[in-house]
Structure 1
Amino acid sequence: MKAIILAGGESRRFGTPKAFAKIQGEYFFEKIYQTLVSTNMFSDIIISTNETLAAQFEGYRTVVDHPAHKNKGPLSGLYSIMSQDDNDFYFVISVDTPMVTDKAISQLYQFLISNLIEEQLIIAGYKANNRPIPTIAFYHKAALPKIESALNSDDYSMRHVYQSVSTDWLDVNDVEGPSYWHRNINFQEELTSLEAEIE
């Protein structure tokens, strides 16, 4: 099983590439990478990024967006990796969720396994306030045709995909740990607030 860190966004609202923002002295992407390593679950960890940022991830495995689908958001990153790989399941995490925990990842995997056969799941992820978080989720390669279809349409949203396949969502509150573990950082002020909360 492999993991994908989505780190190809332009970070317009944040102002600088979020992959290289720091929290607790570490780049966002490094913190997530080390958390993924600590689970001992993944044979490979791939950073999905764009041509501009790729060279900055020296020493890490990166895949840039397929030319036909670049600048089309997270789905482009998933397509670019899944279309050239033969793995069944991929854990997908957005780089702007730096406080994700190994416990949360492991618990979601157990949730996936316990529901996989009965529900024939294609996507298993987290939800907050009953809203899916498609960027903290496991994706089966069977989602690839739907991802490609979305990329070829005018709707590049992840909702386009997860509403058209079998899914199940685990509530973020079911995970023991700090309430901010799934916090998504879009603005500098949110990072400042999160750092204050952590301290």
Structure 2
Amino acid sequence: MTQRRFDSAGDAPRGRTTTAILLAGGLSRRFGSPKAFARLDGPDGRMFYERALDALGAVCGGIVVAASADLADRFPPELEVLPDLPHIAGKGPLAGICTAMRRRPGGRYLVMPCDMPLVGPEQIRRLDELAEDFEHADVAAVRGAEADIPLLSVWRRDLSDLLEDRILGDRLGVMKLLSELNTQWLDAGLIHTDERVFRNFNTPRE
């Protein structure tokens, strides 16, 4: 598989480079087609992954797309698409995060799933700013009034060894992992006053 790369201009606050990990997933059987290539109704016309790239590019010096090997060739060639490492392939979002950390070791990571197309650049900037205030946290993730949003998050260090161990042990729960790490939960209302912005789109009807 040919490696693809997309570097957006700009660095993270305080001179630190942040790698954005866009979780583009796989075939999305529940949705009926790959979510990354879905579009919202309306004149905009951009696909979910394109909207996410715009949002992440507001703060990140580099963006990688974690996606199933089945989808890699559907993205434009200028993007760096990282199929899961073979020994953890198909093991959910932790496998995508682990793979991206392995390929971009060290540093700081901003994670966003592709099925949140209403999240824009201003929300990502605000998330990034809030996360900077918690230097000792392993992860800063978003918490709404009614639900946690664990995959919209900032990981402050490379945790790929830990992630790999958990994946190989078939411990794939994101919330369980965050409960065992030093996780700082960020109030979604401080990022956007309307929490519907953070909704996941799980069916075409939505």
Cα distance in 2, alignment partners of residues 110 and 180 from structure 1: 21
Match of 1:56 among 66, 74, 78: 74
CA contact (8 A) 2:101 2:159 kept: no
CA contact (8 A) 1:2 1:87 kept: no
Alignment partner of 1:126 is 2:142: yes
Distance 1:160 1:10, change over 3 A: farther
Aligned sequence identity (%): 28
Instruction: Give structure 1 stretches of 5+ with no counterpart.
Output: 191-199
The equivalent of 2:49 in structure 1 is 29
The equivalent of 2:97 in structure 1 is 78
Instruction: Give structure 2 stretches of 5+ with no counterpart.
Output: 1-17
The equivalent of 1:197 in structure 2 is none
The equivalent of 1:143 in structure 2 is 159
The equivalent of 2:15 in structure 1 is none
Range with greater deviation from structure 2 (127-136 or 88-97): 127-136
Moved over 4 A (4+): none
Within 5 A, what are the aligned runs for 1:33-112?
33-37=53-57, 39=58, 41-59=59-77, 60-112=79-131
Q: Identify, as 1 or 2, the structure richer in helix.
A: 1
Match of 1:170 among 186, 194, 200: 186
Counting matched residue pairs gives 185
- CA deviation after TM superposition for structure 1 residue 130, in Å: 5.9
Distance 1:188 1:140, change over 3 A: same
Match of 1:20 among 37, 60, 75: 37
CA contact (8 A) 2:67 2:81 kept: yes
CA contact (8 A) 1:4 1:45 kept: yes
The equivalent of 1:193 in structure 2 is none
Query: In the TM superposition, what whole-angstrom CA distance separates every residue of 1:44-75 from its partner, at most 9, and x where no partner exists?
Result: 11110111100000221110100000010001
RMSD of aligned residue pairs (Cα, Å) = 1.6
CA contact (8 A) 1:94 1:135 kept: yes
CA contact (8 A) 1:35 1:100 kept: yes
TM-score normalised according to structure 2 size: 0.84
